[in-house]
Structure 1
Amino acid sequence: MITGGTSTASGQFDASAVSGVVLSDSVQVVSNSFGTFTLTEIPPGIYEMTVKADGYVSGRTDTLNVFNGLTLTPDPTYGSDVLGNLSPATPLGFLRGGDATGDNQVDVADANLIFSLWNKTPADANFVRAADVNADGVINALDLGFVTSNFGNDGFGAPPVFKRITEAGDNSTAIVEVQGIDEVEAWWPGRVFEVTTRVTGMSDVMAYQLAISYDPERVKPLSGSQAVTEGNVFADNPRGTLFFQRSQPGLIEVTAGRVGREMTAKGDADLVTVRFVTMSDDPGPVEVVSGQLVNSAYQGVDVRVKKAQALPMVAALYQNFPNPFNPSTEIRFDIPTARDVKLRVYNQLGQTVRTLVQTRMKAGSYRISWDGMSEAGHSVSSGVYFYSLEAGDYSQIRKMSLVK
């Protein structure tokens, strides 16, 4: 509200602790926690009002005419930023987030600052308030999401189009899984292998962060740009991706966000691939230990991780159950690495009755059922039968009895 002469002005903004920008012939005020302020004794004339909040690009109203004795309540709709770019904010008056460096631009410098302060909180000496764009007390992928969404406000040309998000997607059922270790056929010191962290069931992802752990006594990432590469989760975005990664012994942290607002990721995709070299004949676990998926409304959910099943250490063929059996039985076996597997049933004459498995299989534990039928589809007679497992350099034979 603004009144000419001995006047009063008040306004309301969708940001707390907002302050004006000091220019010549200007007044700076700080709003209360609700974003409102009051000015008194304003001389009549033509004014512009600018608004600045930590982590946000400034907004500026159209001209305001103040007359003696008249009261004016400014509309919190910012016609441009302080550089004169039109419509940098939505019609509802929201400022554009992501200005972590405070230079009134949203660009790679802001993304770099946020990543350099990753997981910092106000308790840390080098915490930067403007880098915590959403003011939740921690600098993370939620803040990076503001930068990537509003990327490109450099004071030149038309800013990106703003689209009001009416309903953001729910990523709470998405599953993250590390894939690749069980594809390796054999391990030895110096072996190079890669693992890919894949997400399934995305509804609306515009940014993410992950922490991936490994045993530094068993494996180490390759050096340089070969070690960590971004996935294809934002490959369809016409404006590209901002991707950051950092490593310390035993831990790799990555974060990424799509630039602009043209797309969000849905469905299944790869998030990141890491290449390692082994220092022993056992790589140990490589796991996602934490992470977040961020949707278009800047809401983050902790990732749900599909834990890898513990792999067997050695190959083994177990006694079938039940035994004796009628009409069917189950055969269990383990293989510690990916290999070609052949599981056969044959009679006392050594003739093959049924080939149950003949294919390449991943490392793991398996259960195969035999229904007492021959290769030709006939029910076999009662008697003693044998089953054998051939898996790489492993071979084993066991006996079973069919009783009718």
Structure 2
Amino acid sequence: FDDDNKSEITFVVADGPGKVDGEDSATITVSGGKAEVTLTANEGDSIQVRVLAEGARSVLVEVEATTPPEIGEGPVGPMALDLDATSFGDQGVRRTETAPAVGDELQVDLVATEGADGLIAFNAAIAYDASKLEFVSFSATDLFDGGLSIPVSSDGAVRISVAFVTSATTSAESGSLGLFSFKVLAEGEARVILVSGQFASGTEPDKLTIGTGGAVVGIGGDAISAGLTSSEGDGTWSMDLDDAAGDQEVRELNGTGGGQEFTIQLINNQSISPSLGGSFTIQFDPQKVELVSGSVSGIVNQLGSLVFEDNTVAFTLAGLSGVPVEDGYIGQVGFKTLDGFEGETEIVLLVAEIGDATTFENVRSEPKNSVVIRSGTGDGDQAPSLSPDFDGDGTVGFRDFIQFAQKYGAKDGDGVSVGLPEYEAKFDLDSSGEVGFRDFILFAQSYGKDPSLFVVPKSALSKPASDNGTNEDALLSLISEPGEEDGEVMVRLHLSGVDLVDGFSVRLRFDSSAMSWKGIDGLVPSLFVPAGEVALARSEGTEQIVLSDILPQGAAIESDGDLVRLRFDMLDKTAPGRIDIVQAIVSDGTGNVTRLLGIHSAELRSLPNTFSLGSNFPNPFNPDTVLPFSLPEAAIVRLAVFNILGQEVRVLAQGRIEAGYHKLVWDGKDDSGRQMASGIYLTRMVAGEFVGINKMLMIK
């Protein structure tokens, strides 16, 4: 426009599936002689937009949609979309490496990258692929926590307006504005596009120019639509991922986790015997997988060392004369995905050379056939859809907790052979290969809530517990205590120097030859079980105990506090036992975990409640007998043997003895080493004010 006299321009979608600024129509104020609007549509769609200006005839414009901006490329800000909903602010995650399963919930974080200080309101419009995603909700977070949200949605678009209802304003230049939640309707790549946005620091909002690099996010694009496909190559050779004999034509593995081994069978399609040996060159991505076989195993033998060059490995083989080739099977090679494996990778048979036993010639080919390994579900077998609603009743409740507790500690590949529960992947919520403490935290965060709100964590959640974190200065100590019953010992687990702890997992080892585990007392509240109990407490084998629990909201430990008290029965009250902490992990209120240091071992002794002199055994005896006695505290002890005339014949103990259960042996001799005659003898013990006397009979 030549001037700003035409103060408002209205854009209306007259025909076609497009949106202007995320809606069917938008009225824009002319500024600097321009009125701008963003039109969104699927690629190839034809849309008609009518432009109306006050006092002028409307104009009909026809537009054909072009390819949307590339994901993650171009400028970012001052608003952006981020797919890491676990942390506030822009984490730069513009694409998920794997596609979520149908029915999963997906969260997209709307973030401010700059210029957000002092705001009272904002609005934004997004467009999304309605054939793949269904809008569920929007919630204001972080910068606008507590603000009033008003979402207006239509098929494929959402406009959100958020404002503080008090005099509050934002107090940071950047951070999260809110979370969009979507339900996944179908597999495949989907995009969410930030169409427009406005900040308001006063009564008038400011039009923002959205940076295209952060305005588009892609869901599962790398793993599904833009993924690799296996190749049959020139047909001379095949690689098969099925362990059954012969070519089962399995060229792709889906749902493969980090650290998972798999086997590739080499199948020759030329009916050539390998009796003269040969060689193979295989190409793979060392950033995704590693070789676990030192050779091609099967009906051939390795000859010489492997040759690695860049991203290939070469095998030289010696054939076994007279060994028949069945169904073309020559041998197999083992690989393993690296920890944290995501996305997909291709393994290619570049060169195959094999000796023909009939012509005595080498037959060389460049098959270029391949197999593909994926972490996503792809089009093959569906990986389990993870949910804390294990019983499928629509809620995460106590029955789910019981099922989880029965599987706690299970490890993929170990099973019941080592005394652990049988592993089931649906309980492994972080897909780490173990139903462990992190899964417990994820389950606790969903307890009592709608299971559809559960978000499958990124691979970062499956990293080992850190030695540094919120509670990096915390210490765990073992404190022994006297038991409440005869022969019982107790040990208390005490935390000190913590910032905030709302969950714990401790693995202990004890000397089963000296003591047996009797029970446990919870000393902190539990989210799942009554006071005095521990949610997850189980023995593994005869010498290990695993304890885990999550504290309810408001009951977190700060500074220091006791966790549990363990009770043991001493098998021999006079002998000490030992207990060690194998591993101790705590979590804070955000789900971060920290491995603790501290006093990880203690010697336990059974402590009596009173002084006593026990009856000797055996009685009658010949020639030796055992005299037991107990001291509730350290004392000066004198224990002597007297004959029936009251004459002292032997002093067995005289001096300071520590508290505990003790025993001495009398060999039937006096202090001079002479053997005493048969008859009645008395034992007399003096410890402080305590005096005890017992009668015993020696018979020869």
Q: Normalising by the residue count of structure 1, what TM-score does the alignment of the two structures yield? A: 0.50
Letter in structure 2 aligned against 1:289: V
Instruction: Describe the shift of the 1:338–1:307 C-alpha distance in structure 2 as closer, same or farther (beyond 3 A).
Output: farther
User: 2:535 maps to which residue?
Assistant: 243
Q: Of residues 66, 73, 79 in structure 1, which corresponds to 2:155? A: 66
Q: Does 1:212 align with 2:293?
A: no
Instruction: Describe the shift of the 1:199–1:64 C-alpha distance in structure 2 as closer, same or farther (beyond 3 A).
Output: same
Instruction: Describe the shift of the 1:180–1:135 C-alpha distance in structure 2 as closer, same or farther (beyond 3 A).
Output: same
Letter in structure 1 aligned against 2:633: R
Map residues 101-112 of structure 1 onto 2, 5 A cutoff: 101=390, 103=392, 105-112=395-402
Query: Offset of 1:130 from its aligned partner?
Result: 4.3
Instruction: Describe the shift of the 1:263–1:191 C-alpha distance in structure 2 as closer, same or farther (beyond 3 A).
Output: closer
User: 1:228 maps to which residue?
Assistant: 520
User: 1:49 maps to which residue?
Assistant: 135
Query: Offset of 1:100 from its aligned partner?
Result: 5.6
Distance across 2 between alignment mates of 1:137 and 1:236: 25
Instruction: Describe the shift of the 1:72–1:199 C-alpha distance in structure 2 as closer, same or farther (beyond 3 A).
Output: closer
Q: Does 1:262 align with 2:554?
A: yes
Q: Of residues 627, 630, 633 in structure 2, which corresponds to 1:339? A: 633
Map residues 250-289 of structure 1 onto 2, 5 A cutoff: 250-259=543-552, 261-281=553-573, 282-289=575-582
Aligned positions, number? 270
Query: Offset of 1:207 from its aligned partner?
Result: 0.8
The CA deviation string for residues 213-232 of structure 1, in whole angstroms up to 9 with x for no partner, is 2222221123xxxx112123
User: 1:119 maps to which residue?
Assistant: 409
CA RMSD of aligned residues (A): 5.4
Query: Offset of 1:275 from its aligned partner?
Result: 1.7
User: 1:77 maps to which residue?
Assistant: 179
Q: Does 1:302 align with 2:595?
A: yes
Query: Offset of 1:293 from its aligned partner?
Result: 1.0
Query: Offset of 1:150 from its aligned partner?
Result: 3.5
User: 2:470 maps to which residue?
Assistant: 170
Q: Does 1:19 align with 2:100?
A: yes
User: 1:159 maps to which residue?
Assistant: none
Distance across 2 between alignment mates of 1:305 and 1:254: 17
Letter in structure 1 aligned against 2:559: G
The CA deviation string for residues 213-253 of structure 1, in whole angstroms up to 9 with x for no partner, is 2222221123xxxx112123x4899x978621112422221
Contact map agreement 2:576 2:604 (CA 8 A) in 1? no
For residue 120 of structure 1, give the secondary structure of its aligned residue in structure 2: coil
Query: Offset of 1:341 from its aligned partner?
Result: 5.1
Query: Offset of 1:209 from its aligned partner?
Result: 0.8
For residue 173 of structure 1, give the secondary structure of its aligned residue in structure 2: coil
Distance across 2 between alignment mates of 1:256 and 1:311: 25
Instruction: Describe the shift of the 1:218–1:236 C-alpha distance in structure 2 as closer, same or farther (beyond 3 A).
Output: same
Distance across 2 between alignment mates of 1:137 and 1:113: 17
Letter in structure 2 aligned against 1:194: M
Q: Normalising by the residue count of structure 2, what TM-score does the alignment of the two structures yield? A: 0.31
Distance across 2 between alignment mates of 1:230 and 1:98: 28
Task: Choose between structure 1 and 2: higher strand proportion.
Answer: 2
Contact map agreement 2:527 2:551 (CA 8 A) in 1? no
Distance across 2 between alignment mates of 1:101 and 1:301: 28
Letter in structure 1 aligned against 2:590: A
For residue 405 of structure 2, give the secondary structure of its aligned residue in structure 1: helix
Contact map agreement 1:204 1:264 (CA 8 A) in 2? yes
Distance across 1 between alignment mates of 2:41 and 2:425: 35
Query: Which fold has the larger relative contact order, with Cα–Cα distance below 8 Å and residues 6 or more apart in sequence?
Result: 1
Instruction: Describe the shift of the 1:391–1:73 C-alpha distance in structure 2 as closer, same or farther (beyond 3 A).
Output: farther
Contact map agreement 1:115 1:140 (CA 8 A) in 2? no
Contact map agreement 1:98 1:146 (CA 8 A) in 2? no
Instruction: Describe the shift of the 1:269–1:78 C-alpha distance in structure 2 as closer, same or farther (beyond 3 A).
Output: same
Instruction: Describe the shift of the 1:206–1:29 C-alpha distance in structure 2 as closer, same or farther (beyond 3 A).
Output: closer
Contact map agreement 2:489 2:604 (CA 8 A) in 1? no
Query: Offset of 1:73 from its aligned partner?
Result: 9.4
Letter in structure 1 aligned against 2:388: D
Letter in structure 1 aligned against 2:594: V
Q: Percent identity?
A: 14
Letter in structure 2 aligned against 1:49: F
Contact map agreement 1:148 1:258 (CA 8 A) in 2? no
Letter in structure 1 aligned against 2:155: V
Contact map agreement 1:132 1:143 (CA 8 A) in 2? yes
Contact map agreement 1:192 1:275 (CA 8 A) in 2? yes
Q: Does 1:131 align with 2:424?
A: no
Query: Offset of 1:169 from its aligned partner?
Result: 6.8
Distance across 2 between alignment mates of 1:62 and 1:292: 41
Contact map agreement 2:478 2:602 (CA 8 A) in 1? no
Contact map agreement 1:107 1:154 (CA 8 A) in 2? no
Instruction: Describe the shift of the 1:77–1:258 C-alpha distance in structure 2 as closer, same or farther (beyond 3 A).
Output: same
For residue 99 of structure 1, give the secondary structure of its aligned residue in structure 2: coil
The CA deviation string for residues 8-34 of structure 1, in whole angstroms up to 9 with x for no partner, is 999974475453656xxxxx9999xxx
Query: Offset of 1:108 from its aligned partner?
Result: 2.8
For residue 253 of structure 1, give the secondary structure of its aligned residue in structure 2: strand
